[in-house]
Amino acid sequence: MTASATNLLEFDRAGLEAWFDARGEKSFRGVQVLKWIHQQWADDFSAMSNLGKALRETLAAGACIREPQVVSHHESADGTRKWVVRVADGNCVETVFIPDGPRGTLCISSQAGCPLDCRFCSTGRQGFSRNLAVAEIIGQVRIAARALGHSGHGTRVITNIVLMGMGEPLLNFDNVVTAMAIMMDDNAYGIARRKVTLSTAGIVPGIDRLRDASPCSLAVSLHAPENALRDELVPINRSYPLGELMAACRRFAERDGRAPITFEYVMLEGVNDSPALARQLVRLLAHVPAKVNLIPFNAFPGAPFRRPAPETVNRFRDILIEAGIMTITRKTRGDDIDAACGQLVGQVLARSARHRRLQELPA
């Protein structure tokens, strides 16, 4: 293998088929190799016994299967597991698995750091380094699936995958869509399309592109039902205010009868947890097929917020439920290993590029 070897983790099924076809090989080799990589965990082409010897030698000379390196692995008392993985350029990102009875949710990262600087999120405080490559995104799934004993053609420990880790997925659009295609492929991980969820802070042009590019589900990090407050908590709202965001959500939901859009709402004591704001949220979501995840704030060092009392969260939740909105209060999981929602930090070496990235957001 040479330094310029092609990393085959970069390709979904269509990409692998095209790659083999361009080299004069039958395109079905792409499916064969996809299964070896994502179901048999092959790292060595010599193990791919249904490929001819000459082809295996050719692959060994010009291609590779290279996933991120696991730096550390932690397991919480509640069964939550977190991997810190090193990607290129010395960056690290975090991947979290949350078991819940028959359901197993894997939360993966799409960027090293995040350019959006949401005030309640630990990741945003460290700045932004770069987008992850396809191999670095799907590599997180491969690492976790192998460790958990998941098999796309047998035991499926991972039932759901959410792009809710470090980064804004819609600012790494092409790589994320390709990685999600691998997750859903029955020749790879076989995750049901509605069980793969992309979470965005509200990049409106990206939501419209996603509607046509992937059958995945959508989650929106909302956190406030009116623009002035959301401008403070989620600064991207200044570029794509709530009216534009809700219109994009309606367009997304109208296509092919998709599942309701999940709206994530981090509960911050004395900031966004009042009954009046709950009623305002009901009005905001009136014309969008929605379910709401209420997330009591998970503290991190230097955070300017506190978690509301349980009765405050319950009162907010009850207002939404009484209005007919499916609402769940998310349990805090993995808090003892800093794996709870909003806590992911990793060991990212940021390059103070946040402001430049914000200026480059699509109009």
The gap from C-alpha 337 to its chain's centroid, in whole angstroms, comes to: 19
Could you tell me which of 218, 230, 105 has the C-alpha nearest to residue 169? Answer: 218
Same structural domain for residues 235 and 91? yes
55 and 163 in a common domain: no
Residues 201 and 277 in one domain: yes
Which of 45, 64, 83 corresponds to the end of one domain?
64
Q: Could you report the per-residue pLDDT of 311-362, keeping only the tens digit for each?
A: 999 999 999 999 999 999 988 755 654 545 444 555 554 443 444 444 455 4
Asked if 82 and 96 count as a contact pair (C-beta separation under 8 A), the reply is: yes
- Choosing from 21, 40, 64, the residue where a domain stops is 64
Q: Rounded distance, CA 220 to CA 341, Å?
A: 14
Mean pLDDT, the chain, whole residue set: 89
Catalytic residues, which ones? 94, 341
The pLDDT value given to residue 312: 98
Strand 290-296 relative to strand 261-267, pairing:
parallel
For residues 28 and 160, membership in a common domain is answered with: no
Number of domains into which the chain is organized? 2
Residue 122 sits in the same domain as residue 212: yes
Task: Say yes or no: 156 and 47 in one domain.
Answer: no
Assess if residue 1 is contained within a domain.
no
Same domain for 116 and 37, yes or no, is no
Tell me the CATH number at 52: 1.10.150.530
Q: Is residue 109 part of a domain?
A: yes
CA distance 227 to 245: 11
Distance CA 104, CA 336 (A): 19
What length does the chain have?
363
Over residues 94-140, the pLDDT tens digits come to 999 999 989 999 999 999 988 887 877 777 677 788 999 999 999 99
Domain with 174 in it? 69-359
Q: Classify residue 304: in a domain, yes or no.
A: yes
Q: What is the DSSP letter of 78?
A: T
Residue 133 and residue 27 share a domain: no
**pLDDT of res. 77:** 87
